[in-house]
Each structure stands twice: as C-alpha cells, then as structure tokens.
Amino acid sequence: MAELIDHPCVQHKLAIIRDEETGHKRFRELATEITKFICYEALKNVPTREVTVQTPVAKATCRKIDTDIVVVPILRAGVGMLEGILELVPTARVGFVGLYRDEETKKPVTYYERFPPQIRGGTCIIIDPMLATGGSTVAAIDLLKEEGAKNIVVVVIVTCPEGIALVEKAHPDVSIYAAAIDEKLNENKYIVPGLGDAGDRLYGTSH
C-alpha cells in the first residue's frame, strides 16, 4: 500500500526541493523537514501503552510509544533523511544498508549491512529519498526480514508507479509513505519529473 502525504506544507516544501536552483544546503534542510512530516504519518499506528504522570496540578493518564523504532537508511542518499526522523523520535535506533547495482545482472548487491537487534519485534523504517525501480527497496526489505524484522514501513520523498508495484508484489505487507507519486521512470530509470539525483543534490557532488 502506498500513501501520499498531500499536506499543503509538505507540497510547498516539495516544490522547493524539486527546483533545480535549490542548492545542496537548502536541499538537505528540506529533506529533513519533509521527512519529519512523512514520518509523523508513517508512525500513526505504532503501539502505545497507557501511563500515569503527575502534572503540577493532578495525575494525568497519557500514552507513550510501546515499541522500539529502528531507522534504516539506504546508503548514501537515505542518510540525508535520517536527521528528520531522529528529531521526531530521538530514542530511535539506527541500522544501515549499503547497496549497488551490478552492471551485468542489473540486480542490487549488498556491500554493507548493520542492524541493531531491536529490529526483531520493533518497527523498522526504511528511508531513501527516491523509490524508483524499487530494486534497492525490495533488497533492503529482504535483508531486514532475513534478520527477523516483521513490522516494516518505507518512507520516501518521491516515488513512481513502477517502484510501488515492485515493492507491493514482493512485500504486500509493507506500507510506503511518500510526498509525491510521480508519473513514470524514463529510459535512464530516473523518476519523471522527480528531483534529479538525490545523493548528488544532498551532498553537492553534482557538477
């Protein structure tokens, strides 16, 4: 299932981050801001427990999150979204997945993975600015499930029907949250209209 976060504040920031004139400093700031909004929605169904706290006036019945939150950026661009989630959930743990595409097979190959043990029984949030073909996202979900993760959501800034379809086919139990579901992939597997190469724009490595 893919859910579009169509809030006016998200869409306003999306218009700025898409603009080719937006520099890498502002791009990073916007990635953080947009991620916070999307994760706010992505975490709306996490388990909570009832607690009692003493206010200056009286006791109050409140709720606290009752699960470990584990954030898993897909290297390298996913790291650009990490701060947004950690500002929202400072106690979240962080794992990492590094993937590259084999030029012959065109399939993702893992070169790095590191997960905290709390992925088993916790809520795992895979983050990557772009969900394009879906291959890297599916591979990251595969790795998490192999390590025992059962509750996984995907948070991206921009995606497209092709990427959504691949993830839904491979992992129908995983929800996708995005600020934009764009038209299509072009012949170079870039999302159209998209926002360009997110990694290059985050870190200023483009020409």
Looking at the annotation, which residues are catalytic? 101, 105, 197, 200
Residue 47 phi/psi, 5° resolution?
-65, 145
Residue 146 phi/psi, 5° resolution?
-65, -30
Q: Which two tokens stand for residue 198?
A: 């997110």
Rounded distance between C-alpha atoms, residue 143 and residue 157, angstroms = 22
Mention every residue, 6+ apart, whose C-beta is less than 8 A from residue 27.
17, 201, 202
The runs of H, that is alpha helices, within the chain are: 8-18, 24-42, 82-88, 135-146, 161-170, 198-203
Rounded distance between C-alpha atoms, residue 114 and residue 98, angstroms = 9
Nearest CA to 124 among 75, 84, 85?
85
Give yes or no for a contact between 102 and 53, defined as CB atoms under 8 angstroms apart.
no
Residue 95 phi/psi, 5° resolution?
-115, 170
